[in-house]
Chains A and B, each alone.
Chain A
Amino acid sequence: NAGVTQTPKFQVLKTGQSMTLQCAQDMNHEYMSWYRQDPGMGLRLIHYSVGAGITDQGEVPNGYNVSRSTTEDFPLRLLSAAPSQTSVYFCASRIYNEQFFGPGTRLTVL
């Protein structure tokens, strides 16, 4: 089991560029989510999904899009990157009440 995997590990974007952060899990978990981690802020929920074809917004969804076409994959799209989106992004999947986190993607927007 690879668990939750994320790519890329690091990314630098210019303001206005778009990109997709990839997340995959091989545990057949229905629930997946995206968080961002900022210094002194803890983790904040961006979007989540309770199964293929179903997504919903979390606490800080603006500027991000998600889709869930398969159980395994849950990509996060930045449509037009802004410096305020500089952060570390974590994907997670959940079974019962235990969440499993990926290693994170460190994104810098210049």
Chain B
Amino acid sequence: GNSVTQMEGPVTLSEEAFLTINCTYTATGYPSLFWYVQYPGEGLQLLLKATKADDKGSNKGFEATYRKETTSFHLEKGSVQVSDSAVYFCARGDGGSQGNLIFGKGTKLSVKP
């Protein structure tokens, strides 16, 4: 089964609002954690990552901190823009040597002007 759980979407926000998308995981050990973004009609792009506990990944104003105590990797942005409208996927490494990923179901974000 899927061991990455994201908050259900869609999420609709006004421009400049604060964004949080929750992500929790189950795993043995401490897997690498990722957020990917998929803009309409495109493939997924890596947004940010964290490879060990307490690491903070950041990119394009987005941040997420690897919290081993709560097995979470919540995505945040202080002020969203219309151009941030996309589907966001949380993922973790599967723990194997091949580096396969296990994805959450995705959260669609729509930002209104």
A-to-B contact residues, CB < 8 Å = 4, 31, 33, 35, 40-45, 48, 50, 56, 58, 90, 92, 94, 96-104
Instruction: Tell me which residues across on chain B come within 8 A of A102, comparing CB atoms.
Output: 43
Alpha-carbon gap, A102 to B45, bound state (A): 9
Hey, what's the 0/1 contact readout for B26-64 against A, CB within 8 Å counting as 1?
A: 000000100010000111111001010000000000000
A contact patch SS: strand
Given contacts A102-B43, A103-B43, contact A40 B105 (CB under 8 A): yes
Alpha-carbon gap, A13 to B69, bound state (A): 48
Give the number of residues in B that approach A within 8 Å (Cβ atoms): 22
Alpha-carbon gap, A104 to B98, bound state (A): 22
- Are A42 and B51 neighbours in the complex by a CB distance under 8 Å? no
B-to-A contact residues, CB < 8 Å = 2, 4, 32, 36, 41-46, 49, 51, 89, 93, 98-101, 103-106
| B42, closest chain A residue (CB) | A103
- Are A42 and B93 neighbours in the complex by a CB distance under 8 Å? no
Given contacts A42-B106, A97-B32, contact A4 B43 (CB under 8 A): yes
Residue in B49, B93, B101 with the greatest tally of chain A CB atoms within 10 Å: B101
Instruction: Tell me which residues across on chain B come within 8 A of A98, comparing CB atoms.
Output: 46, 49
Alpha-carbon gap, A105 to B2, bound state (A): 23
Instruction: Tell me which residues across on chain B come within 8 A of A42, comparing CB atoms.
Output: 2, 4, 89, 103-106
Expressed in whole angstroms, the minimum distance between the Cβ of A88 and any Cβ of chain B is: 9
Expressed in whole angstroms, the minimum distance between the Cβ of A27 and any Cβ of chain B is: 14
| A38, closest chain B residue (CB) | B105
The 8 Å CB contact of A31, one of B41, B42, B99, is B99
